[in-house]
Structures are given as C-alpha cells and as structure tokens.
A = this chain, B = another copy of it.
Amino acid sequence: EHSSVLYCLCTIFLSLALPSLNLPPSLSQGTRDYNPKQMAIRERVFNTIIRCFKRHGAETIDTPVFELKETLTGKYGEDSKLIYDLKDQGGELLSLRYDLTVPFARYLAMNKITNIKRYHIAKVYRRDNPAMTRGRYREFYQCDFDIAGQYDPMIPDAECLKIVHEILSELELGDFRIKVNDRRILDGMFAVCGVPDDKFRTICSTVDKLDKMSWEDVKSEMVNEKGLSEEAADQIGQYVSMQGGMDLAERLLQDAKMSQSKQACAGLTDMKQLFSYLQLFQVTDKVVFDLSLARGLDYYTGVIYEAILTQNCPVNVSATQNGVDEKAEEGVSVGSVAGGGRYDGLVGMFDPKGRKVPCVGVSIGIERVFSIMEQKAEASARKVRTTETQVMVASAQKNLLNERLRLTAELWNAGIKTEVMYKKNPKLLSQLQHCEDSGIPLVAILGEQELKDGVVKLRTVHSREEVDVSRAELAEEIKKRTSDV
C-alpha cells in the first residue's frame, strides 16, 4: 500500500515537473523544414515552372488543405489507406488532400465549370513510409497543370507534353525522355491477347513494373501470381517490348490482332494525331510511344505519359541502391520527373447528374527536382544567396547609428534593398564580414567627413574598390551597379 501511494506521488510529481523539463524539439516523421537556402532554390524552380504555365495562358486556383472525407473516398483504390484523417472533434469528418487532381475535379463540379486551363502548386499528404534521403516525404509539393473542356482530340494533350518538354529543358536537369501510351491501347491489347476482362487492372499494374523488373520476372508474376495463361503472357510480351513514334502507331493499326480491338484502334488513331501535333511543336526528339507504360492511377481513360531523366545523376544511384527502383510521389517511379494523362470520368463522379468534363493534365515531380537542384548547388562553387540585399549601410566610426538609420530609410524609400546592423557601434570588419557571408555586393560607408561633404563611400565588396558618391545620386548609382542582381 505504501508503494502505491509513493507511485501516485511520483506520478503527480513527474506530471508537474515535466512541462518545465524541455526535450529537444523535433518534427513529425516524414516532414521537414525548408531552410533559407532550400527556399531560395525552391523559389527559382517555382519561378521557372510558373513562367512556363503562364506562357501557356494558364490561370491558377487554390483549394483547402483538408476536404470532407467523402470527397476523397473511392478515388484512390488501395492507396486510400495512406490518407491522413483529422480527429473527429465534433463536426465534419475531414481528410488532408492526397493529391491536387481530386480537389480540382471537385472544384469544377461544385462550380459547374466546363472549361479551364489552370495550374495549382501546393502541398499534399500521404501516410507513406518516408524515405527522406531519397526525397520521399509525407508532406510534399505537387505542381499540376490541367486543361478541362470538350475540345478537338489530342490538341490539349499535345500541349501538356510540350509543357513537360519546356520545363525539363529550362530546368537543365540533363537529358530526358517522355514515354507515351494510351489506356485504350493497353486495354485493347489485353483483350486481343486473351486477358479476361476482370484481370485488366491487375495485369496492367504488373506491366507497370517493366521499368524496374525484367520481362521474365514480370511474366512470372502474371502467370504464377495473377493466374494468366502463359500464351496470353507471351503475346503481351511481344507488344510491350515495342517502342517507336508515329510509325509504330501506323504499324499497329495494320496489326492483325490489334486491329480487331475497336478500343485499341481509337487509341492508335489518336496516337498518330498526337504525334502529328508534337511534330508541329518540335518535341518529337524526346517523345517515345512505349507500349510498356501503364501508370498506376485508376482514373486515366486515354493518353498517359511519364518523363524520365536518362542521365545517371547521383540521386538516381542512391534511389536504386538496393537494385530495386522504388515508386516516388504520384505513382511515378524514382527516375521519373513528370507524369500525367487524360481522365475524362473524374469530374462526373462529383456531379449529381454525372455530367462529364473531359480533362487532361500533367504533374511535375517537383520534390525530385528540388533534390537534384540542391545537389547541384552543393556541388557548385557558386554560393546560393538567400537574400537579395543590394547594399549594407555601414560606418567605421562610433556614434553614427542615427546617421546609418537615416540613410538606410532613405534607401528603403528609394526602393533599394538595404541592410544595416542593429548595433550602436559595430566594427567595420564585422559589417564587411556580413556582406561577404551573405553575398551583399555593395557597402555604403558613412563617416564624419562623408557627412560633411554630403557624400557616401560606396565600396564594391569583391574588388574592395571605393568611390565617393553624392548622397543625392546614391540610389541611382546602386541600382546601376546591381541591375543584374
């Protein structure tokens, strides 16, 4: 009995003492902060991508980070288990968004929008096994561009591929290839090869593994795990090894077996059309019609595509270190940096009358792009600036704080990005050191003499050159000297 009283007292004591006993703070598993350097890189990447989206006339929207649970229900198949739910604190059942596509479809249906070209850059949430060294997080950015509307076939689809081409070229991530296929071609192929209707999706997801497993292993999974006949598997094997361009689409349209499937023919005819537009857009150099491309998501109904980097960059190596390439965000393999396709049925799932709005879109695998850019920045001799400060107002003498602040305000008011040290009497050396550290190119130095003469000593940090500039002309002179910043 004594011991239980003691235990009780201890518990009370501990619960009183603990709040003041700070443990080192930490983050939730699979999430991360972005420090200023990472933010500077992120901003550059976003600017490049947004510039491209705007060049193509896209608007942007934003949606809440959580949706009613029912909005997400039944949209992601097996992956639904990865959805973050909010605690029921009295009220609605809510979930964090899993991607940007379902909220987009919900937005279109809710606002009865039948035509829009929009981009959306925002974070999404998945309770996946984090693999943060490989750039896989539970909170990560998606960067989506979609075209909704009833249009003549393959024109918006071709624009999506043009956009992928532009973005990957401008980001200078190295050489890349864009694989293209069509769900209707896949389904038609499965039908003519003798795959039973109810096995289409599961065989499709086995085919999807061809970029990381040998054909023998894929065939074995089809036959031994999924119960497909060996004959059907072999027939599939012949098709999925095919790669080409418009010529391949034409050849398959003449193919004795393929041509028996209406679905396949519709897909192949559109594929031909797609390539003709891609020629006009001058991007066929990077695009391959690849019958092994399947993609994970259920909602695709037509053309699908995926862009992969073909150079062996360091991220690739670490991602494949166990010999098994893993799937990254958006059901996209780790080597892949963009993916998308046509989904004509999703909006209709949200409309009370089932009215469909055809959509096609692309998602840029932005976290992977960040990783690559960060590694490039690490490897480069050039320092990443985290501020854009043009000038630091400094002095070598004491008791000039007020004069420094006055000049600083003058420069702020003239639109110059200016810093000043928050010290009464900082040493000139520490002021110059701060400029070196943070890449500030100019220093405006004030002293008794300069104040008397109505000038400022303008020092160029890298050359240590100094020149007197009249105070009235200082802002203009700084603008001139930093016009490339």
Contacts and interface: CB of A to CB of B under 8 A. Distances in A.
A162 to B, nearest CB: 7
Interface string A1-45: 000000000000000000100111111110111111001101100
A123 B65 contact: yes
Contacts of A57: 387, 389, 417-419
A379 interface: no
A33 B62 contact: yes
Contact of A350 (B25, B402, B406, B418): B25
A399 B188 CA distance: 32
A118 interface: yes
A139 B58 CA distance: 25
A115 to B, nearest CB: 10
A143 to B, nearest CB: 15
Given A28-B64, A280-B406, A405-B280, A388 B418 contact: no
Of the four ranges (under 10, 10 to 19, 20 to 34, 35 or more), the interface on chain A belongs to 35 or more
B418 A67 contact: no
Contacts of A412: 55-56, 162, 166
Contacts of A276: 402
A54 B388 contact: yes
B84 A86 contact: yes
Contacts of A110: 24-27, 33
Given A55-B418, A74-B19, A405-B277, A29 B92 contact: yes
B387 A54 contact: yes
A59 B386 contact: yes
Contacts of A63: 33-34
A416 B28 contact: no
A107 B33 contact: yes
Given A34-B61, A280-B405, 13 more contacts: A22-B353, A24-B352, A28-B67, A34-B62, A36-B116, A55-B416, A65-B125, A87-B87, A91-B127, A151-B422, A152-B422, A155-B405, A281-B409
